[in-house]
Structures are given as structure tokens and as C-alpha cells.
Structure 1
Amino acid sequence: MNNKIQIARLLRKNQTKAEKKLWSHLRNRKLKNLKFRRQHPIKSYIVDFFCVEYGIIIELDGEYHKQINQAEKDRRRDIHLQSLGYKILRFENRMVFENVDIVFQYIIAAKEKQESYASERKEHLKKHSENTKKHLTPSLTLSRGSSITVLSTKILSPSQKELFLHSGLGLVEYNALDIEFLDVPIPNNFQNYIFTSKNAVKAFLKYSKKLDMSECNAFCVGEKTKAVLEENGLKIIATTENALDLGDFIIKKHQNEKFLFLCGNLRREELPNILSKNNVRYTEVKIYKTHLIPRRFDRVFNGILFFSPSGIKSYIQENSISKSLAFCIGNTTATEAKKYTDQIIIANKPTIENLLVQAIKYFKKHD
């Protein structure tokens, strides 16, 4: 019998009190019909709880995990598992006894974030793909004879993936980034809001449910950001393709007003600089955090799809771009890519679909 399976069985018989308590809530699909396994082997690890369908891993940490050496081991392990597409949730043991409802909330939120994982898993199971042996890290193509393979630094939606795969090109995808929404106080004395990403909008909507959205004026970057804002009742004052253009618009049309700028921890300096330089009053709130998830690839891809400067920073930590063609969703992303390569193609419009079309057209033309 596999040694890992033997160890897992032994651990199941010797659960901690916190593990027994949480298992009583998870077993038999008691939480949102999610099926969890306990003490489950994945790669070289054994995780406390694992939801196969959505790729959710739950770890319960006692005092031992607070030791410096163990904390570093946990961090490296989490990075590896995240690079395979899994969502890692870590809780101190006491949370299970003192705030188990909060634990449930995190699990349910993780399920929503892993919808693309679940869809992809169903697709793989249906096709009996060999890639299921690699824990759903996809390497797909509808044309087995294609020698061209493109890497996407984010997991694509089923419709986006279908668009790409029907071209006959090979596709490998993974998430180079993980987004964490921050539950921070959001001032309620503003009428004008600046959004430079969909993530900022999603975090804002999650933690501002008491606000009257019809009273909020939105200044945003990107058509998809605008679409999410409109769906939720905000009034769109301006939409531009990049932050610099948005700053110029604010200076020319609304310089004497005050703004709340909702952003992430890795936001760029261009917009704050131009607002400060022109004495525009604004308050900045970091409402989400971007975590880099570096992953090493022992191969060279014909092309790499980049969707943000942060995605490039994540990829470059373990790999080189120099021998691949970099497809960038916009000029800001391309500026970051130029630090490492001069082989760059920029999407005509800053959308994922347009970026995919650019890659398909290029390789069809040069195949």
C-alpha cells in the first residue's frame, strides 16, 4: 500500500479535537452540499480536509505551526498547491471552537472563487483526459498535431478557453496571482469613486452593501469594470482605457471635487502622482491584496498571455520570457514586459477575448 495512504489512514484515526469538530460540520455534505475528504494525500502532502470538486484545501493549525521553521514550510507548501490551482484556507484551531461561522463563510467564498476549477474538472472527467493525472493543471489542445503551445497566466473561463482551443493551438493555464479582498473600513462621506480594476469593484460591492449605489459616481478604467459598476447601479461619469487618461479627465473636468480611490496593494503610481501633482483631493483605500504565486515551468512556450504587470512579476520570479512572445492585455502590462523582452504584441482592446484573438491570429499567420 502507498505509504502516504497508510499515513493518511493513521491520521484519520488520530484526529485533533479541532479536526473532529470541523469534520462533524463538513461530513456527508452538510455545508452547502460540498463533499470533503479528511487527511487526503495530494502530491507529496497530506492535507487536513479536501473538497475534490472545487479544489478547496482546509488546514487547521495548532501552536506548532507558529514556529518559524514550520511557518516557512507551510508557506512553501501553500505556494506549490496554489500553483496547481487549489484554494488554501488556513485557520487556527481556536477558530473552529470560537468562530466556526466565520470558517463557514470563508469556505463558501472559496467555493465561489473556484467555480472555474470545478467547470474545468467536469470537462476533464468527461473527456477522460490524461491531464487529470496532473491534478487538473491543464495542457489542452483540440488539434493533437499542433506544435504551438501558449501559456495563460490566469485560468480562462470555459467560453474563453473554447475560443482558443478551437483554433488548434495548445494551451497551458494557471493562476499567477491570487486576490484577497480586505474587510477594511470604507468612508461613507464620498460621492465620487475611482476604480482602476474589477477586483476593486468586487471588493467594494462586498463590503459596501449599506451604501445607496445610485448616489455613487464612478470614474473607472476598462469597459468590463464599467459593466460591473453599471450592473450594480452606480452612475458612470467616465471610462478610459488606462489610469493616466482617467487622471487627465479628472483634472480637466472635476479638479475641484474630492474622490475615494479604491485600489489594491500593488497599484501603480501614475494615477496618484497626477492627482497629487494637480492638487486633486482624494483618499486612497487599499481594498484588496494581490499575492504572487510563482511557478516554475521546465519548457519554453511559443507565447505567453499576460493580463497585468503583477502577473509578469509573478512569472518572472521562476522563469524567463526572453525566448517566448509576450502577449499583453494593455500598454501598462507591456511596459512591464519590456523590462525582460522586446518581443511583445499588445491587444487592440484591453479585454481577454481580444488578447486571445491576437495570439490566435499571430500563430495562424506564422504557423
Structure 2
Amino acid sequence: MNIKTKIARLLHQEQTEAEKKLWGYVRNRQFENLKFKRQHPLKEYIVDFFCAEYGMIIELDGDSHNQINQKEKDELRDKHLRGLGYYVLRFENQMVFKNIDVVFKAIQQAKTKQDSYAEERKKQLEDGKKARKGHLTPALSPRRGSSTILSTKILSKPQKERLLAAGLGLVEYNAIEIDHLDFELETGYDNYIFTSQNAVKSYTKKENSENRSKIKAFCVGKKTASLLKHHGFSVIETADHATDLAQIIVEKYGDRAFLFLTGNNRRQELPTILEKNNVQYKDIVVYETHLAPKRFERHFEGILFFSPSGVQSFTALNSLEKATAFCIGDTTANEAKKHTDNVVVANKPTIENVLVQVVKHFSADTH
């Protein structure tokens, strides 16, 4: 028995009143069918309550946690655990006795946010069973001596198959999370600018289909255009880059007023060009991008990046070392170049073209 297990067993016997109270609520899948373990060893820590299925941690704090030094330790510990993909909930002991409904609601919200974690864990467990039966999936079993790459975005099945057909090993995760916001639209605008699919998704989540046919959409990217058309929008102009779209608007539609639906981390090129040329526009933040750092204990020959935020998320807890960074565009590449000189940029700003560059790069290495 290792030392952490011994300590955990000792803590079992010395639970605080708050821990005993909460354990009475959540043990044996009584709450939301979640299976919690108490005083569970996890990495170099022992956490108060842990749900492996959803990667959820609950910590209950006594008065000692209000001390400055302890608060700093707790923050570093939580940051490390979140970087590993876990969701950390921290409550003061009194919350269990006075506001248990708040605790329950926070656990429910955490469960929803960790749905993708649970799905990925289920997939990994299923793959592990196949491996034990001698049927390891191609993504986990590349050809001997071949390279393994990491995608900072979950790929579609055809995209995965392209990489696997080239004999490459693949690991994937979502390096960023998107929150679609509740927002109020400005009236009096018929011309809308969409620079990402996320902006389209945010709009369609909020607004009904009756208004869409009246909107004249100007967008960046063929996939954004395709998504807009799928939802009944009239797409007037499409460009590969925001700067190109801005120039088209200035040259052909400079007398119009635009509503720009954007995220919280928008690039400044498009609004700068519009302002410089006195094109009237109003921007509304309709979604937020959050980093979801995750630490990896292994080396990858290539890392696939699809946004500057993806680079920031990965490098928050990992080093690019000798890996080649494959980037969807110049802005993403510029972020990657802060960490490595081994950067390959796609010829076109599409996921498919990033994959083309990956296959070409590693095919050349084998000849």
C-alpha cells in the first residue's frame, strides 16, 4: 500500500461534519446517478470527493482555507487539476448545512459541462476493452515506427480516416470551449457580418427562422457560408480571410450599415478597415471562447492548431519541444511561432488543408 492510499484511508476515518453530511447525499449514486468516491488519491493530491466518469472534483473547505498561503496553494492545485481536464468545485463547509441547494445546482451544471469528458472517457474505456481483445483501433495503434499527432479540435470521422489511412497515430481533444451567450440584437440592420461558424450557431440558437431570409449575410470561410445557407440565410459575399471580406465591403457596399456578430476574442483587422473607410457597423459579442488547458505526459511529432486560442491553451501546460505545429492560418501560425520555429501553415484556411499538409509532411519524412 503506497503512502497516499494510507493517508486517504486515514482521512476516511477523520471526515469533517460537512464531508459526512455531503457524503450522505451523494453516496451510492443517490444524486444525479453520479458515482463519487471520497478522499480519493488523484495524481499527487487527495481530493475530498471524486467522480471518475465526469472528471468532477468536490472540495469542502474549513476556516484554514481562508488563510492567504492556503488560498494560494488551493488555487495552484485547482489550476493543475483543471489543466488535466478535471472540473473542480470548491465550497465552504457552511454551504453544505445552509445552502445545499446551491451545491446541488453547481454539481448539476458541472455534470452538463463535463458531458464531452464523459463521452471521451467512455470511448477510451471501450477502446481499452478492444485492445485487450487484440482489436486496437487505428487511432491508438499506428503502424510501427510511424508518427503520432495531436489535434486540438475533435475531428469528424472522414477527417480522422484521412490521417489514419496515412498510417498516422491520432490523439484529439478540444483545447477551447465555446459559450453561446444570451444577447440582444440591434434593430434596423439588414446586413450581418459573420466571421465564424460559432457566431452563426449563437444566432440560430437565439433567433427564430422567420427573420433569416431577410438578412444579407457577409461571411468568412466556405463552411461558415454553407452553415448560413443551411439555416436559410441569403449569403451575399464570402471571403477566405477577414481582411479580404473587409475590402470587399469597403469597395462594393461602403454605403450600407452592418451588424457584426463576433466572439469575445475577435481579431481587429476587419473592424479597423471598416472604421478607416467610414463604413458604419455595430458589433455584438454573441459567444465567448474559454481556454481548456490539458497536460500531456507524452511527446507528439505534430500538433494541429485551428486558432490562436488553441495555441495558447495547449502551451499553457505543455511545450511544443521538437513537434511541428500545423496551423490553419497566418494568425494562428504567428501565435505558434512564439513557441517554436517548426511551423507549417495551410495553403487554405480549412481543416482539410491542414490535414493535407500533415500527410504531405510525414509522407516526405518516410522517403
TM-score range, shorter chain: 0.7 to 0.9
Q: CA deviation at 1:363?
A: 0.9
Distance 2:211 2:39 in 1: 50
Distance 1:75 1:165 in 2: 40
Q: Deviations over 1:73-129 (max 9, x none)?
A: 333333333343334445566495253564255134213332552353234332347
Give the aligned partner of residue 134 of structure 1.
none
Mark the CA change 1:291 to 1:89 in structure 2 (over 3 Å): closer, same or farther: farther
Give the aligned partner of residue 258 of structure 1.
258
Mark the CA change 1:118 to 1:6 in structure 2 (over 3 Å): closer, same or farther: same
Aligned to 1:350, the other structure's residue is in SS state: coil
Q: CA deviation at 1:270?
A: 1.1
Give the aligned partner of residue 179 of structure 1.
177
Aligned to 1:103, which of 103, 106, 112?
106
The answer as to whether partners of 1:79 and 1:293 remain within 8 angstroms in 2 is: no
Give the aligned partner of residue 355 of structure 2.
356
Q: CA deviation at 1:305?
A: 1.5
Mark the CA change 1:199 to 1:254 in structure 2 (over 3 Å): closer, same or farther: same
Mark the CA change 1:194 to 1:77 in structure 2 (over 3 Å): closer, same or farther: farther
Distance 2:335 2:89 in 1: 31
Give the aligned partner of residue 291 of structure 1.
291
Matching of residues 22-37 of structure 1 within 5 Å: 24=25, 27-28=28-29, 30-31=31-32, 33-37=33-37
Query: Does 2:113 align with 1:118?
Result: no
Give the aligned partner of residue 215 of structure 1.
211
**Between Structure 1 and Structure 2, how many residues are aligned?**
352
Give the aligned partner of residue 17 of structure 1.
18
Give the aligned partner of residue 127 of structure 1.
130
Aligned to 1:273, the other structure's residue is in SS state: helix
Q: Deviations over 1:256-312 (max 9, x none)?
A: 213143212x3222122122223322134263142362747675x432211111222
Aligned to 2:4, the other structure's residue is in SS state: helix
Mark the CA change 1:323 to 1:238 in structure 2 (over 3 Å): closer, same or farther: same
What letter matches 1:152 in structure 2? Answer: S
Mark the CA change 1:114 to 1:221 in structure 2 (over 3 Å): closer, same or farther: farther
What letter matches 1:40 in structure 2? Answer: H
Distance 1:71 1:182 in 2: 31
Q: CA deviation at 1:328?
A: 0.9
- In structure 1, stretches of 5+ residues that fail to align are 130-138
Give the aligned partner of residue 75 of structure 2.
75
Aligned to 1:114, the other structure's residue is in SS state: helix
Q: Of the two, which has the highest radius of gyration?
A: 2
The answer as to whether partners of 2:40 and 2:47 remain within 8 angstroms in 1 is: yes
Q: Deviations over 1:291-344 (max 9, x none)?
A: 362747675x43221111122234445666574332111232223334555543
Give the aligned partner of residue 50 of structure 1.
50
The answer as to whether partners of 1:85 and 1:174 remain within 8 angstroms in 2 is: no
The TM-score normalised by the length of structure 1 is: 0.75
Give the aligned partner of residue 135 of structure 2.
none
Give the aligned partner of residue 312 of structure 2.
313
Matching of residues 192-271 of structure 1 within 5 Å: 192-203=191-202, 208=206, 211-216=207-212, 217=215, 218-229=217-228, 236-251=235-250, 252-253=252-253, 255-264=255-264, 266-271=265-270
What letter matches 2:123 in structure 1? Answer: E
The answer as to whether partners of 2:142 and 2:148 remain within 8 angstroms in 1 is: no
The answer as to whether partners of 1:116 and 1:158 remain within 8 angstroms in 2 is: no
Give the aligned partner of residue 151 of structure 1.
150
The answer as to whether partners of 1:59 and 1:90 remain within 8 angstroms in 2 is: yes
The answer as to whether partners of 1:204 and 1:287 remain within 8 angstroms in 2 is: no
Distance 1:28 1:359 in 2: 45
Mark the CA change 1:226 to 1:327 in structure 2 (over 3 Å): closer, same or farther: same
Mark the CA change 1:324 to 1:219 in structure 2 (over 3 Å): closer, same or farther: same
What letter matches 2:18 in structure 1? Answer: K
Q: Deviations over 1:161-207 (max 9, x none)?
A: 454334322344455x342527564345365544333444455555x
Distance 2:49 2:203 in 1: 31
Q: CA deviation at 1:359?
A: 0.8
Distance 1:119 1:352 in 2: 26
Identity of aligned residues (%): 46
Distance 1:329 1:116 in 2: 27
Aligned to 1:99, the other structure's residue is in SS state: helix
The answer as to whether partners of 1:193 and 1:262 remain within 8 angstroms in 2 is: no
Mark the CA change 1:298 to 1:272 in structure 2 (over 3 Å): closer, same or farther: same
Mark the CA change 1:324 to 1:289 in structure 2 (over 3 Å): closer, same or farther: closer
Query: Does 2:160 align with 1:164?
Result: no
Aligned to 2:114, the other structure's residue is in SS state: helix
Aligned to 1:146, the other structure's residue is in SS state: coil
